[in-house]
Structure 1
Amino acid sequence: MLQTMFLYILAAAIILCILHIIFLCTGDARLVRQIPGPKDVFIIGNTLELLITPVELFKLGRRYANKWKDIYRFIAFNIRAVNIFNPEDIEVVMSTMKHSEKSYFYSFLRPWLGDGLLLSGGK
């Protein structure tokens, strides 16, 4: 019984390590990790910082914007977010069609809004 439990714990730890390596070693993840931001925790990233009220979350975003000025990153599990505050950087991102692919979360709006101006991929 104890050996079986140990094997399950060992298997879970190995799977978590593999997932962590996969999340860290993809091309996008490596690029995002070069951007300054809060220190993240193994596997879960900065998820624990999100367990606050919306008002506190807004204040947290403002604190990070003041600390890192132009740009910072935020990681929650395998979801990576980059917040940009420099107007010149925003202009570059917004004017480049290559980066206009909408994230997964926009797919929930597609049944109601269709592929209009908000959800178009710049095509």
Structure 2
Amino acid sequence: MKKVLIVDNSSFMRKFVKKIIEKDGLYTAVEAVDKVTAMEMFNSEKPDIVLLDLNMTESTMDGLEVLTDILKIAPAAVVFIMSAVGHQKVKDQCIELGAKGYISKPIDSGVLLKELGEY
């Protein structure tokens, strides 16, 4: 069973994603609400996959910082961005920084499971 770290400031979104990925018993999920907790959980839980929201506060896209920090520690980490920010420039930036994919919100359960199934 693979472990997934879900990082999102929205408790609703974390629970929603967790329910989708744990449904078939292929994944187990741990959660983080902000960049500090995300890094603590990444270091302690050693997840196989990270699902990372870009906007964890009202004013910044601190998910980019978390992405960069995770990849500094573990360059081979599998990180997917989940975001409602749909600008192609932002998507391209995330991929250039090392994200394996970009999942648009609202989350489509089929798309999410397909992306995760590749890792």
TM-score, with structure 1 as normaliser? 0.25
Of Structure 1 and Structure 2, the greater helix share is in 1
TM-score, with structure 2 as normaliser? 0.25
Choose 1 or 2 for highest CA Rg: 1
